[in-house]
Structure 1
């Protein structure tokens, strides 16, 4: 359990602390998936532009007089095939990482909204008056907004 969640006072019971800990874990998994997706996306974009620049200088300019000559030079070098397959794999991985990112975001948002919806059950009587301290700490330490359900 995260140290700052463990430090919550007696008005937060162990089950609520465990839910908040799970929420923090899901938020961290979502952030990692988001960072990975964006990183691979930018790598694939820059690699593609670099390869297209190389193709324009090595194939398109010298053999621009004939499409057949350009095509022949492109297919005759196996390096072009390998790079094309590598780029296709990169963009495929971007798609897979995007799907993982969406899934992890949905899991995180669902748990966050569940905590918001069940907050009346989780903090009762005197604890209800002090729950804003838990919400403030979650917002400041983990960037998790528990005040309202919309993104």
Structure 2
């Protein structure tokens, strides 16, 4: 458990601390998947750009007089097949990471909204209710998790 959450001794009970820890874990998972998706997406875009530029310079421009000669030149170089397979694989991996990222975002947002909805139950006592803003501020400052509003 995070040290900041452990320092919330009198402000929260153990169940609330566990919920806060879970929302932190979900946020980290979402951020990690978001970064991976972005990295693979830009790698795919740059690789496609450079590959199409290569095809333009090596295949399209010198053999533009005939489609059959362009096609035969493209097929004669086996590296074209390998690069094409790599690009298609990266595109598929990018879509897989996008789906995982969206799922992680939904899980994170659902848990965050659950904490917001149940805040009256989680901080039942009067003094806990008055000090909950300190917990919310700590979560916002340390982990960039907004527990004040449900909107993203």
Q: What is the TM-score of this pair, normalised by structure 1? A: 0.98
Distance in 2 of aligned mates of 1:12 and 1:53: 59
- Is 1:142 aligned with 2:152? no
Residues 95-119 of structure 1 show CA distances to partners (whole Å, capped at 9, x for unaligned) of 0000000000000000000000000
* CA shift for structure 1 position 35: 0.3
RMSD: 0.6
Note the residue ranges of structure 1 that are not aligned, 5 or more in a row. Answer: none
Matches within 5 A, 1:1-150: 1-124=1-124, 125-150=126-151
* CA shift for structure 1 position 150: 1.0
Distance in 2 of aligned mates of 1:126 and 1:6: 19
Q: What is the TM-score of this pair, normalised by structure 2? A: 0.98
* CA shift for structure 1 position 77: 1.1
Partner SS, residue 63 of structure 1: coil
Distance in 1 of aligned mates of 2:60 and 2:100: 38
Residues 14-67 of structure 1 show CA distances to partners (whole Å, capped at 9, x for unaligned) of 110010001000000000000000000000000010101111111011111111
Distance in 2 of aligned mates of 1:129 and 1:86: 56
Note the residue ranges of structure 2 that are not aligned, 5 or more in a row. Answer: none
* CA shift for structure 1 position 7: 0.8
| 4+ residue segments displaced more than 2 Å | none
